[in-house]
A and B are shown apart, each in its own frame.
Chain A
């Protein structure tokens, strides 16, 4: 490494100094030698070898020109990998930078910012593989076990309360309909009448906890009364008749309709299943159980299925890297002279204007570093895809680095095509390499 080739060309120097310089070069050589050997054998030689290997077939015997590269851009699984990686580059670096910027700016305004930063930064210490395992647990499909789906289920129940029942049948021919459109009594009812609406085929687990024994209501003048109950008891019972031991169904939406179908009023059943519509004008009405009563319970978003797997992996990845962006941008923010911001505020700029017109432009170089770092990271994304995506959807979640590994080592063992994918990946990071070198030379 410390070749002395240009000693002869150097201007004549006193013998002592020339000896000294030679010695210094030898010492430098000795200091550099271990690194040179390691980098030579493990980095430079393999990289060149991989380039050559990419023009040979899978066994390495036959030269096949650019066939491997042709395969890379024509085979479906590899195209999926390239498309997915393009999506990663388009979405993730920008999101991570934006989230990091928002966190960095906002944490300047709270007193316990250290606690917040530690919480967000902590995933950086964890392996991407373990982070993937963590999210695999979060993404579990059944809302009983997957925290994410449990949260979504709880929120959607809160925003739009679900029906109490998922399945039911009419217990007697007096009632017609189904869970899809609701049930209605065949015969019309006039004020003073009693509507008996018996249902069977209800799962015992779905009978609400507050349900009490059903009661047959009394007729009242000017009022339509009725009961919705589980027309079933151990041993059977008579259909269409309210009997002791049969449970009322609370919380059921009951509608009073004109014979034509137009809704007049609705109400909910009490804990013994009874309901009443008071002050009903004379006439004939139909009583119906609205379709809103029936709903399949939320069975969970299929995060780990074909369609959502890439966004799901991305979310886990952003969870890991947002802390990195926050800390680097936060350091950049701390270096901005406060006078500048104060001056802008004194001049009457709003917080938003200060942020848009002063903070962000001053932070631009830092934002660029974070963004570029994330682009490289995202191009090489591997472990987290392997741990979040179950084997069955890895074709759909595929990315370039994973495709390379699966082609070369994951069973196919095609070293030619694997090398071509590696070279392609390398070509993608070369612009970044050039950028790094330029930045470095400017700094010197």
Chain B
């Protein structure tokens, strides 16, 4: 992370800044030439939202209509909408317990890699030890190792250790596979922190652990926030790992998947469950959008 300006979706195009005070005539001319672009983008932007709105309205259709009515009819006939499907899904023990499973996996799978990754990143950024740069390159290399490379041995290992089908097993897997990115992102941010701050703390007699907790973690907060959002979204949205290393321990994605696999497809369960599953990542995205974008720009390598 070498940029100082925090990028967001709202970054003002410099062009707009440079031309803050154009004359009225040129403004009209430009509005006219830009109108086609604005119209096209408006259509595209709405089109991009339609699928998600479609799922939302489908999930809200009254149960007896969901198999035969198109969701768009609900726009003109609000009578077609009801919360019945949501009531049904939230009464469904399998779905609610899978939501909690998702929460535990995501919380553990976010906090643990941040802690472990930050410690390793601290060592890579501020401490001197042999083969440091080579080891870091190994970490960069591990970034692209596909999850598939680990599934079979870990499946056997978990069965031997007795942590197959447990939340702990899933958290540890997410942690390990989140670590290369965590170390990479945090180390690159940490090296930008002035070393004088550390030296001053060392001279004052602070231990490395204390410096890590009191100086580096607070200063590294922007990068940690980006990482937290990414890691949270990965663990929340995971299907592959939970599908392979769990059976009864089902996060929401797996629960929906097993509904999807049943013949006929229970759309009245799938649609509301899918919408519930994406409300939380969406809320996280809207709340922390700038950290999300920042992390994306810092580490678009994974």
Contacts and interface: CB of A to CB of B under 8 A. Distances in A.
A126 B282 contact: yes
B214 to A, nearest CB: 15
A327 B294 CA distance: 10
Interface in A317-346: 319, 324, 327-328, 330-331, 334, 338, 341
Contacts of B282: 122, 125-126
Nearest to A139: B51
Contacts of A28: 123, 127-129
Interface stretch (B76-84, B90-98, B151-159): B151-159
Interface stretch (B175-183, B192-200, B220-228): B175-183
A418 interface: yes
A28 B125 CA distance: 10
B120 to A, nearest CB: 4
A49 interface: yes
A215 B192 CA distance: 89
Nearest to A376: B144
Contacts of B180: 39, 43
A127 interface: yes
Interface string A23-60: 01101110110111011011111110110010000000
A110 interface: yes
Given A39-B180, A125-B285, A119 B14 contact: no
A43 B54 contact: no
B150 A137 contact: no
B149 A426 contact: yes
Nearest to A426: B149
Interface residues on B, range: 35 or more
Contacts of A44: 142
A21 B129 CA distance: 9
B41 interface: yes
A123 B293 CA distance: 13
B126 to A, nearest CB: 9
Interface string B107-118: 000000000110
**Chain B contact surface mostly:** helix
A334 B140 contact: no
A110 B41 contact: yes
A115 interface: yes
Contacts of B55: 133-134, 137
B45 interface: yes
Interface string B266-287: 0100110010011001101100
Contacts of B139: 39
Contacts of A3: 130
A429 interface: yes
A376 B181 CA distance: 15
A6 B130 contact: yes
| Max chain A Cβ within 10 angstroms of own Cβ: one of B68, B120, B180, B257 | B120
Contact of A404 (B148, B261, B284): B148
Interface in B126-144: 127-130, 133, 135, 137, 139-144
Interface string B222-244: 00000000000100111110011
A338 B48 CA distance: 30
Interface in A115-162: 115-130, 133-138, 144-147, 150
Contacts of A32: 119-120, 123
A401 interface: yes
B245 to A, nearest CB: 10
Contacts of A133: 55, 256, 260, 270-271, 274
Contacts of B48: 119-120, 122-123, 319
Contact of B143 (A21, A436, A444): A436
Nearest to A149: B70
A338 B54 contact: no
B142 A43 contact: yes
B179 A125 contact: no
A390 B43 CA distance: 30
A387 B260 contact: yes
A232 interface: no
B150 A380 contact: no
Contacts of A2: 129-130
Contacts of A444: 133
A370 to B, nearest CB: 7
A295 to B, nearest CB: 21
B130 A35 contact: no
A387 B157 CA distance: 28
19 contacts: A43-B177, A106-B40, A107-B13, A108-B13, A122-B282, A125-B281, A126-B278, A127-B238, A128-B237, A138-B51, A144-B70, A147-B70, A319-B51, A324-B300, A379-B146, A386-B239, A404-B151, A436-B143, A440-B137
Query: Which A-B residue pairs are the 5 nearest by beta carbons?
Result: A127-B237, A42-B176, A125-B285, A35-B120, A46-B150
Interface of B: 7, 9-11, 13-16, 18, 34, 37-38, 40-41, 44-46, 48-52, 54-55, 58, 67-72, 116-117, 119-120, 122-123, 127-130, 133, 135, 137, 139-155, 157, 172-173, 175-177, 179-180, 183, 208, 212, 233, 236-240, 243-244, 253, 256-257, 260-261, 267, 270-271, 274, 277-278, 281-282, 284-285, 289, 292-293, 296-297, 300-302
